[in-house]
Amino acid sequence: CTSIVAQDVGGTLYHARNLDFGLFMGWDTKNHTWLIAEYLHPLVVNLDFTRNGTTVYKTVNFAGYIGVLTGMKPGVFSLTLNERFNVNGGYIGLIEWILGYRKAHWTSFLTRDALEKSNSYEEAVDMLSNTEILAPVYYIVGGSKPGQGAIITRDRQSLTNMYSMAPDKGMWYVLETNYDNWTDPPFFDDRRTPGKKCLSGVGNKKVDFQTIYDVLSTKPVLNQLTTYTALMQVNKGTLETYIRHCPHPCWAW
């Protein structure tokens, strides 16, 4: 996955992501695609969660999946969830949970809870930073006010690191793939360098849906695992989703 929160010169925030999934889950030798990623394409849906006839939050989901990997509370905040690979991974949390230790929350249920219950960017960041969870993940959160954008690096029990944008210091965006931002990504899966190169090339004077979509359309940020691209602007409550296809030759991840 690749998630971006970027701020334009006027202080407007944009939050976007590529959702990559299905690694090592069957390779279609004929079409050079991942089988599960292909099966996920028709499952992509935009959801509008309503109460009393009013939108409470919007998400992009795979039909049948009830947690939230991409979502937005209009006017308040947006969030995305990226996988974080770790030996102390989700399977351990899951086993603990099955054995009766149920204090930890499911990572994608916590995001839905945050959309449901948090009424500010700060509340959402606090909830996603300090709630015990089953698996290590990256929560990427964007707000409605200038400077509200952060990558929350989580292990299962606690907050590992918080990396926030600082537009006044020239850090007008945060970009997260699937590796800790204080370490170099592995040479065999470096989507961070091309993503940052393309975004920096755009500059904050031109950042908008169009230019962020271009960044997320560039290989290998776009790859054979990419199922969809989502673009969110919290203040307007806009969420656009595009089901993706990476033309050959395209890197497998």
Partner 1 sequence: QDVPPYTEDCQHGMYPSKARSTGVPPTFKINLDLDPQIRWNEVMKHKGANVKAMIDQVKKLISDVSPQLVDLVNKYLPEIIEKLPAPYDAEILGISKATGIEDGEILLFNIFYEVFTM
Report which DSSP code applies to 184. P
Min dist CB 145 to partner 1, Å, is 26
**Euclidean distance between CA atoms 212 and 94, whole angstroms:** 35
Q: Which of 1, 198, 246, 250 is catalytic?
A: 1
CB of 249 to partner 1, least distance (A): 5
Site for partner 1 in 42-101 (CB under 8 A): 42-52, 56, 60, 62-67, 69, 81, 83-87, 89-91, 93-94, 98
Which of 215, 203, 210 lies closest to 240, judged by CA? 210
In whole angstroms, what is the distance from residue 151 CA to residue 175 CA?
8
Give me the 192-231 binding string for partner 1, x by CB under 8 A, dash otherwise. Answer: --x--xx--x-------xx--xxx-xxxx-x-----xx--
Q: Does 177 bind partner 1 (CB under 8 A)?
A: no
Residue 38: both structure tokens together: 């292909």
Question: What whole-number distance in Å separates Cα of residue 22 and Cα of residue 27?
Answer: 10
Chain-centroid distance, C-alpha 153: 12
246 is a catalytic site residue = no
Of the pair 98, 170, the CB lying nearest partner 1 is at 98
Q: How far apart are CA 188 and CA 209, in angstroms?
A: 29
CB of 147 to partner 1, least distance (A): 26
Q: Which is nearer to partner 1, 166 or 243 (CB)?
A: 243
Show which residues are catalytic: 1
